[in-house]
Amino acid sequence: MNIWKRFTLLKEQARSRFSLFAKINCLIIVLFIPIIIVYTYSNNVTFDVVSKELQVSNTKQLTFLSSQIDSRINQMMDFSLILSRDPNVRAFNGLNIWDDRYDQMQTRYVIQEKMVLQSGVTDIWPTRYAVHSQQNKDVIANYNRSTGYDENYLKSNMSGKWTYGDQGGESQNKLQSFYWFFTDSLAQPGMLTGSNLVIEASFSYENIQNMLDKYKEGGQGDPFFYHKGNLPILNRSADKQLSEELIRYLDSHSPENTTQDVVKLNGKNYLVSSVKSSYLDWHLVDVVPLYQILQPISFSRDLFYISMILLFVVGISASILLYRNVQSPIKKLIQGLRRVQRGDYSVRLHSKDQNEFSFLFHRFNDMSHQIQDLIENVFNEKIRAREATLKQLQAQINPHFLYNCLGYIINMAQMKEQEAVISMAYNLSAYYRYTTRMERETASLNDEIKLLVNYLDIQKLRNGRIDYHIDIPEPMLSQSVPRLMLQPIVENSVIHGVAKSYSSGEIRITGERANGFCKIYVDDDGPGLNPEQLEALNRKMQQPLQEEMGCGLWNTNQRIIHLFGNQSCLIFGPSPLGGFRTEIIWEIPTDQENTNYLR
């Protein structure tokens, strides 16, 4: 049963902590979060599926293009093998025993005719062939050669692999051709026996460009042929700036046989695919602007998020409208009732809108006004009596300080201390100018501190041993306190602390503000009181004024209690300086309580 009561109590407290405005906003957020999470997940799945399909499709197309290039290269190699076994070619590399010049010309013509026919099979892949006879020191080619037979040229290129270069020492900053040299000799590869027949097959970089241009027509990529250390072969409409960025990336990452990565270039994502050629040891690279292909999906996603934001703004606006027209008036009404409950019957509620709450506010104001009239009639005499008591207590303090000052002036005049008399008279004049203004029973703490400085300066003239320090936080100086609250306490420290010891003379006044209370500490380094005396003095502050007690401290304590309430008081104790400490504590008054009921 007790558990059920506790559960019911916790449930009611939880309901009271959340206002209607907070509940509506929480409901809007709860509705939006699942929708956004589900859509985001769906959008990410769509992105992943499209990206994977794009990668697979791009790899297949690039592999097909690479196989086409390798197929044409393989055809060139097969033709070179067949050509090396042709009877006319072998006759060209014979013992140089010709029947006549006509047969020689006829053989050269036939060989050139076969090479020309093979080269012209496809327009997109023109090829060049040359037959080198080591026996005859002669060469036949289907293109115009700048040089004739060159033994060193053959030896330097008999590697058995396709090589890239001009094979003649042209600049490396220009695009060049691919070469392959074949001989059917049984000797060690790369060595010539003196009677070898060498078939040279080559094709220009333009063949690769033709294939790249054809590939680019059917897709969205920007392909090129790449080999680290060589000038890349670009398609004729390539984006050179993008290609340069990508080549720098490839130079630092060294692609494998077949690779595929998403690379960020110039702040945009690109799909970079590469396939290595089986014969040329070059990479066929394609770069696809991934951000352009996925742009419709991104635009749809952004459009959805914008719609969600607009719907969220509309929902919050509706919630705010409900708060301003319903909950805010209810909150004002509850706050007004709380102030009436605390005794503030001057509260009035006002509404700019003309609705149902305007009538409630009007009736509340009438009720508060009627209660205020009744309360003022009942407690008016009590309030007047309290003000009369405060004025009487303050009047008892003013002569006390006057008697001490006049005595000091008399003493200084007898001692012919003119400057001290003038200073005392000046400070006394400032003091009475302050104290005779009886239109208000309170003053700011800053004014009290100024008056205290005047008093301590006078006492310092009377007693050169006196040294004082005042450290009050700036926010406390604007606090309203009873007039002449500090002067009797400091006077007590001067008379009963510093004056009773020749070794003392320090008075320290400090303050702090914390937890809704202000505290001021008045310390001296005089002889002080023992614990029993301190306890007796604190007890007397709570009792009626007795004839043997001085009225200064008691009056100050009563004035603080009258002004700030029963939680305010004077407390006496030992000082950190070794003497006597007076602690003044008062509660900071507030016009109204802060409430967290409706948030």
Question: How large is the average pLDDT for residues 362-385?
Answer: 67
Q: For all residues of the chain together, what is the average pLDDT?
A: 78
Of the candidates 268, 294, 320, which is a domain's last residue?
A: 294
pLDDT, tens digit (0-9, with 9 covering 90-100), for 243-253: 888 888 888 88
Same domain (yes/no): 120, 268: no
Question: CA–CA separation, 310 vs 204, rounded Å?
Answer: 60
Residue 593's pLDDT is what?
34
**Looking at the domain assignment, is residue 507 inside a domain?**
yes
The reply to whether 407 and 549 lie within a common domain is yes
User: pLDDT digits over 269-322, tens only?
Assistant: 888 888 888 888 888 888 888 777 777 777 788 888 888 888 888 878 877 777
Q: Are 192 and 217 part of one and the same domain? A: no
Residue 520, pLDDT above cutoff 90 = yes
DSSP 3-state of 484: coil
Q: What is the pLDDT of residues 160-192, one digit of tens each?
A: 888 887 655 444 556 788 998 888 765 555 566
Sign of CA dihedral 111, 103, 88, 149: negative
Please list, in sequence order, all residues whose beta carbon lies within 8 angstroms of the beta carbon of residue 86, skipping any fewer than 6 positions away.
111, 114
- Give percent of the chain above pLDDT 70: 81
Distance of CA 6 to the CA centre of its chain: 43
* Whether 213 and 197 share a structural domain: no
pTM value > 0.75 = no
- DSSP string computed for 55-122: HHHHHHHHHHHHHHHHHHHHHHHHHHHHHHT-HHHHHHTS-S--S-HHHHHHHHHHHHHHHHHHHTS-
CA 584 – CA 556 distance, rounded (Å): 10
- For residue 188, report the phi and psi dihedrals to the nearest 5 degrees: -60, 135
Question: What integer pLDDT is reported at residue 521 of this predicted model?
Answer: 95
Tell me, yes or no, whether 290 lies in a domain.
yes
Tell me the per-residue pLDDT of 30-62, one tens digit each, with 9 for 90 and over: 888 888 888 888 878 877 787 787 778 888 888
Of 294, 324, 343, the residue at which a domain comes to its end is 294
580 in the same domain as 481: yes
Domain count, the chain: 3
In tens, the pLDDT along 199-223 reads 888 888 888 888 888 888 877 788 8
Q: Give the confidence band of 486 by pLDDT, cuts at 50, 70, 90.
A: confident
CA–CA gap between residue 4 and residue 203 (Å, rounded): 93
Of the candidates 179, 191, 234, the residue with the CA atom closest to the CA atom of residue 210: 234
Cα 176 from chain centroid (whole Å): 54
Backbone angles phi and psi of 565, in degrees to 5: 110, 175
198 and 270 co-located in one domain: no
Backbone angles phi, psi at 388, to 5 degrees: -65, -40
Nearest C-alpha neighbor of 262 from the set 224, 288, 244? 288
Distances (CA, A) of 560 to 257, 453, 564, 568, 582: 92, 21, 6, 6, 14
Q: Based on the fold, state whether residues 431 and 574 are members of the same structural domain.
A: yes
Residue 337 lies in a domain: no
pLDDT value at position 454? 79
Say which CATH number the domain at 242 has.
3.30.450.20
Residues 216, 198 share a domain: no
Residue-number span of the structural domain to which 403 is assigned: 373-587
| Sign for the pseudo-dihedral over CA of 446, 448, 454, 460 | negative
Q: Dump the DSSP string for 325-359.
A: IIIHHHHHHHHHHHHHHTT-TT-----SS-SHHHH
- Say if residue 464 is in the same domain as residue 531: yes
Q: Collapsing DSSP states into helix, strand and coil, what is residue 507?
A: strand
Whether 451 and 533 map to the same domain: the answer is yes
SS (H, E, C) 255-305: CCCEEEEEEEECCEEEEEEEEECCCCCCEEEEEEEHHHHCHHHHHHHHHHH
Query: Percent of the chain, pLDDT > 90?
Result: 5
Are 426 and 574 contained in the same domain? yes
* Mode of pairing for the β-strands spanning 569-574 and 467-471: unpaired
Could you read off the pLDDT of 141-152 as tens digits, one per residue?
Answer: 888 877 788 888
| 131 domain residue, yes or no | yes
Lowest mean pLDDT segment, chosen from 296-305, 345-354, 561-570: 345-354
Domain membership flag for residue 361:
no
Residue 40 falls inside a structural domain: no
Of 12-21, 196-205, 351-360, 418-427, the least confident: 12-21
Q: How far, in Å, CA of 273 to CA of 285, rounded? A: 6
Q: Which of 279, 294, 309 is the last residue of a domain?
A: 294
**Residue 355 falls inside a structural domain:** no
Residue-wise pLDDT for 522-551, tens only, equals 999 888 888 898 888 888 888 776 655 556
Examine the pLDDT at 395 and tell me if it is beyond 70: no
Both 290 and 177 in one domain: the answer is: no
